[in-house]
Structure 1
Amino acid sequence: MTIHTQQSLSGFIASEPQRTVTESGDARLYVRIGQPHFRRNDDGSFTELDPSFHDLVAYRATAERALDRFQKGDSFVAEGYIRTFTVERAGQVTEAEEFVAKHIGHDTARTNYRVDRTRRAARELGDAACAAPERRTERERADVTALGR
């Protein structure tokens, strides 16, 4: 089986994230993002160039999670695809593009953070806590007891 890949994008959140709703009622995230650029010099050093700026959108659950977790200035990595479309401004029709993020997270190379796994652990224990005590495994009984259930 081949490895499934998609386009990726990294950069920083350049504007305050905006929440809108699609015609079908789904959550939509819109944000301007910046991408830093560098030029390698002959001596091996790098010169920072001006960043480029682009549009990023996400939909449904990805949009909701990103709206809760990102703010202006955050570094990110996203997976998705580029969508091109035409737009009319002042009577001129031009092509525009946006990156549609299907997955997005903080860039671990540029962000310090702690991972909170309590929701995941609680969700995993949820089924065990609801099961009849005689149907729980020994590990599940210990975990449920530790949680006071």
Structure 2
Amino acid sequence: MSIQTQQAVSGFVASEPQLSFTEKGDARLYMKFGLEHYRREADNSFTKLETTFHDLIAFKAAAEFGHQKLAKGDNFIADGRVREYSYERDGQRHEGEEFIATRLGHDLARTRYEVDRTPRRNATEQAAPAREVSAFTSPEPSRPAAAPAIGI
């Protein structure tokens, strides 16, 4: 069986994420995001090019999580797909593209945060006791017991 892949994008949140709801009542997230572009030079240095800005849309749980956790300026990674669109307004045709995210979260390489590993629960589940998580501590190296000296 082959590995199924999707498109992905990483960038920074350029506008405050906006949460709205579809006619069916599903959560919908909209935000502008920025992509920084660089060019590798012959001496292996990089030159920063113009940043581009794009639209990102997410629905349902991804929308709710994105709205709750992401803020303007955050670095993120999203899985999903690019959708091209066109529409007509006031007699003029407009075309563009947007990234529709199915998974959305902070970029681990650029964000510091703490992980909460307490189990998630649904509204139908009862509260589960929180699991206490402590930081990993390296064990003290054991010292061998002093062996009697052997002389010749």
Interval containing the TM-score (normalised by the shorter chain): 0.7 to 0.9
The Cα of 1:103 is off from its aligned counterpart by 0.3
SS of 1:118 mapped into structure 2: coil
* Aligned residue in 2 for 1:3: 3
* Aligned residue in 1 for 2:73: 73
Contact 1:87 1:96 in 2 (8 A): no
- CA distance in 1 between partners of 2:44 and 2:83 (Å): 36
* Aligned residue in 2 for 1:36: 36
1:94-126: CA deviation from partner (whole Å, max 9, x where unpaired): 221110000011001111111111234x78xx7
Q: Which runs of structure 2 are paired with 1:37-52 in the superposition (5 Å)?
A: 37-52=37-52
* Aligned residue in 1 for 2:142: none
**Which has the greater radius of gyration?**
2
Please, what TM-score do these two structures have when normalized by structure 2? 0.77
* Aligned residue in 2 for 1:116: 116
1:2-44: CA deviation from partner (whole Å, max 9, x where unpaired): 1110000110000000011112111100000000000111211
The percent of aligned pairs where both chains have the same amino acid is 52
- CA distance in 2 between partners of 1:2 and 1:29 (Å): 31
Q: Structure 2: 5+ residue runs without aligned partners?
A: 133-152
The Cα of 1:90 is off from its aligned counterpart by 4.0
For these two proteins, the number of residue pairs brought into alignment is 128
* Aligned residue in 2 for 1:105: 105
Amino acid of the residue matched to residue 96 of structure 2?
A: A
SS of 1:68 mapped into structure 2: helix
Greater helix proportion? 1
Please, what TM-score do these two structures have when normalized by structure 1? 0.78
- CA distance in 1 between partners of 2:49 and 2:111 (Å): 22
Q: Structure 1: 5+ residue runs without aligned partners?
A: 130-143
Amino acid of the residue matched to residue 88 of structure 1?
A: E
SS of 1:65 mapped into structure 2: helix
